[in-house]
């Protein structure tokens, strides 16, 4: 069979600066903002003419951070607690023969001055992700509410999130610069980003959102954010 060399049409600038704590699918964290910068020679207003009529876009992209790790025929999806093996093609795992991802994102706007930028929300993409293609999302064809989701069905309740007084104070101080950060932290932690395998229950975790380090841990009541500090 033939093989193809693909060149990215754009690059993602995302609030998610590391893989840990990125939601496992798009749409789960609607406050997560990203900007898709088109790369030359695709960075022309003509190439996106008409796209502003659509509320959502499909993005295909390269799992560039994990691509070098290759693939295996089976993977352990976090949805199954990380201890049951499923065929790679029955999962949305990043470790695939062709490391290509597919995500839908809300299109907040398009800027065409000094380059072309798509303003996005709800994407599950790491900062720097190379984008292979952009297509309008067509609800009448792409949305299939009757579809069955097998083991990936989401029955889990969102994890409640609380903030320490110090974290609240820090968030109040950066509210002008990052008004959506508090809500984004709630949405990210509601998904319980802890790895599937068992770990020290009292462990403190750190994640980077925009230019801030967020520290948090879990207790019987949910997630508790201890601090928010400039990264
Ligand atoms: N919606 C996509 C991605 C699902 S996997 C699809 O179905 O194809 C989601 C995970 O991909 C996230 O939790 C994040 O950790 C990881 N991810 C996002 N961007 C990535 C990148 N550029 N390289 C490697 N992993 C990435």
Lookup: tokens for 166: 């110090």
Mutate to test the pocket of ligand 1, among 8, 19, 64 (most ligand atoms within 8 A of CB): 19
Residue pointed to by tokens 């900007």: 35
> If we measure between CA atoms, which residue out of 14, 7, 41, 37 comes closest to residue 110?
37
**Close Cβ partners of 158 (under 8 Å, ≥ 6 residues apart):** 190, 191
What is the structure's pLDDT at 198? 56
Q: Is ligand 1 within 6 A of the CB of residue 77?
A: no
Sign, Cα dihedral of 58, 62, 66, 72: positive
Q: Which atom of ligand 1 is nearest to the CA of 93?
A: 5
Q: Taking all residues of the chain, what is their mean pLDDT, rounded to a whole number?
A: 95
Q: Which atom of ligand 1 is nearest to the CA of 22?
A: 13
Cα(59) to ligand 1 centroid in Å equals 12
Going by pLDDT thresholds of 50, 70 and 90, the confidence category of residue 200 is confident
Chain segment 121-162, per-residue pLDDT in tens: 999 999 999 999 999 999 999 999 999 999 988 778 899 999
Three-class SS state of 67: helix
Q: Is ligand 1 within 6 A of the CB of residue 126?
A: yes
Chain segment 12-27, per-residue pLDDT in tens: 999 999 999 999 999 9
Can you tell me the mean pLDDT for 168-172? 98
- In SS3 terms, 179-207 reads as CCHHHHHHHHHHCCCCCCCCCCCCCCEEE
What is the structure's pLDDT at 1? 85
Q: Is ligand 1 within 6 A of the CB of residue 125?
A: yes
Rg for the chain, CA atoms, rounded = 19
Q: How far apart are CA 20 and CA 65, in angstroms?
A: 12
What is the structure's pLDDT at 79? 82
Percent of the residues in the chain that have a pLDDT greater than 90, as a whole number: 90
Determine contact, residues 65/22, Cβ cutoff 8 Å: no
Looking at the whole model, is its pTM more than 0.75? yes
Cα(125) to ligand 1 centroid in Å equals 6
Residue pointed to by tokens 């993977």: 75
The residue that leads in pLDDT, 200 or 10, is: 10
**Which residues are 207's β-sheet partners?**
214
Chain segment 28-63, per-residue pLDDT in tens: 999 999 999 999 999 999 999 999 999 999 999 999
Mutate to test the pocket of ligand 1, among 26, 101, 129, 191 (most ligand atoms within 8 A of CB): 101
Can you tell me the mean pLDDT for 173-190? 96
The beta-strand segments (E) located in the chain are 10-14, 33-38, 56-62, 74-75, 86-87, 100-111, 117-121, 130-136, 161-163, 205-209, 212-219, 222-230
Question: Cα torsion at 15, 18, 23, 27 (round to 10°)?
Answer: 30
């Amino acid at each position: 069979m033939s093989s193809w060399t693909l060149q990215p049409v754009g690059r993602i600038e995302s609030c998610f600066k590391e893989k840990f704590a990125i939601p496992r699918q798009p749409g789960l964290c609607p406050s997560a903002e990203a900007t898709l910068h088109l790369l030359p020679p695709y960075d022309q207003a003509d190439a996106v003419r008409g796209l502003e009529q659509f509320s959502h876009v499909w993005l295909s992209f390269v799992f560039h951070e994990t691509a070098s790790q290759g693939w295996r025929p089976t993977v352990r999806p976090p949805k199954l607690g990380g201890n049951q093996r499923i065929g790679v093609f029955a999962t949305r795992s990043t470790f695939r023969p062709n490391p290509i991802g597919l995500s839908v994102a809300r299109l907040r706007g398009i800027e065409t001055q000094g380059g072309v930028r798509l303003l996005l929300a709800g994407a599950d993409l790491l900062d720097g992700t190379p984008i292979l293609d952009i297509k309008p999302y067509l609800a009448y064809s792409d949305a299939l509410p009757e579809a069955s989701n097998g083991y990936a069905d989401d029955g889990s309740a969102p994890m409640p999130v609380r903030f320490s007084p110090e974290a609240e104070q820090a968030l109040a101080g950066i509210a002008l610069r990052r008004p959506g950060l508090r809500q984004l932290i709630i949405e990210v932690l509601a998904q319980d980003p802890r790895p599937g395998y068992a770990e020290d229950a009292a462990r403190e975790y750190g994640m980077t959102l925009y230019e801030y380090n967020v520290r948090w841990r879990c207790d019987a009541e949910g997630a508790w954010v201890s601090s928010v500090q400039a990264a």
